């Protein structure tokens, strides 16, 4: 029995080392492909060594608490998606809204995993609007794709009926107060998102 315990202990140490090598977070499917067993992962979870942050996503409990845990969980589950709209506004600190779900953009025709937690709102975009304005940020050593502030504003104008115009105008006001105004970039994105005529009067009014 003692020998079996030692084997299990060594196996768990090896798994922990592998998770650390992956920046402290790992997907179940990724773990299995690398030779880890579900049983070992569940044992580490039950011992409080790792925690489940979303379905099929685990992270080491010894890591400091993330400043953006929901974004991190979604990025691990859907790495090809991009954080957008209210979630991106919140990240860039140009809204007073508190997102009750993670807004993500995905390319039309692609699928994403079913994410039961955290709550997710999926917005499907054409190729040009989807691939424009993406910035990769490191959050707890995990790459999270988020639209830059200017692309986020253009998306908000595009989805203004969904968000409410008061949210959009507040975001533009806070952007003007807190960020350097990049008119050329804003208008370039506006053309790509097909909201140039909508956004132009508001931009001109801020100059």
> How confident is the model over 67-78, as a mean pLDDT?
84
Q: pLDDT, tens digit, for every residue of 88-116?
A: 999 999 999 988 999 999 999 988 878 87
Coil/strand/helix, residue 78: coil
Which comes out higher in pLDDT, residue 198 or 47? Answer: 198
Residue % of the chain over a pLDDT of 90 = 50
- In eight-state DSSP terms, residue 193 is H
In eight-state DSSP terms, residue 65 is P
Nearest Cα residue to 151 out of 119, 192, 94, 179: 192
- Residue 106's pLDDT is 96
Average pLDDT across the chain, whole number: 86
Q: Are 80 and 106 in contact (CB under 8 A)?
A: yes
Q: Is the pLDDT of residue 3 over 60?
A: no
Task: Determine the pLDDT at residue 36.
Answer: 77
Are the beta carbons of 78 and 112 closer than 8 angstroms?
yes
Coil/strand/helix, residue 92: coil
pLDDT of 41 higher than 70? yes
Q: How far apart are CA 72 and CA 109, in angstroms?
A: 24
**142-156 residue pLDDT tens:** 889 999 999 999 999
- Residue 177: is its pLDDT beyond 50? yes
Residue 1 in this model has a pLDDT that exceeds 50: no
């Amino acid at each position: 029995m003692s020998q079996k315990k030692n084997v299990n202990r060594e196996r768990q140490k090896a798994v922990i080392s592998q998770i650390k090598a992956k920046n402290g977070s790992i997907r179940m499917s990724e773990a299995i492909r690398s030779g880890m067993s579900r049983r070992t992962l569940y044992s580490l979870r039950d011992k409080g060594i790792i925690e489940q942050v979303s379905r099929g996503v685990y992270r080491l409990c010894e890591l400091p608490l993330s400043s953006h845990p929901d974004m991190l969980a979604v990025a691990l589950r859907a790495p090809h998606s991009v954080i957008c709209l209210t979630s991106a506004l919140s990240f860039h600190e140009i809204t007073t809204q508190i997102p009750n779900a993670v807004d993500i953009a995905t390319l039309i025709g692609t699928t994403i995993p079913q994410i039961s937690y955290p709550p997710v709102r999926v917005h499907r975009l054409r190729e040009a609007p989807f691939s424009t304005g993406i910035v990769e940020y490191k959050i707890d050593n995990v790459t999270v794709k988020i639209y830059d502030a200017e692309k986020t504003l253009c998306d908000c104008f595009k989805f203004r009926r969904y968000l409410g115009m008061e949210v959009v105008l507040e975001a533009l006001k806070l952007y003007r107060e807190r960020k350097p105004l990049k008119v050329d970039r804003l208008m370039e994105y506006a053309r790509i998102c097909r909201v140039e005529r909508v956004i132009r009067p508001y931009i001109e009014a801020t100059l």
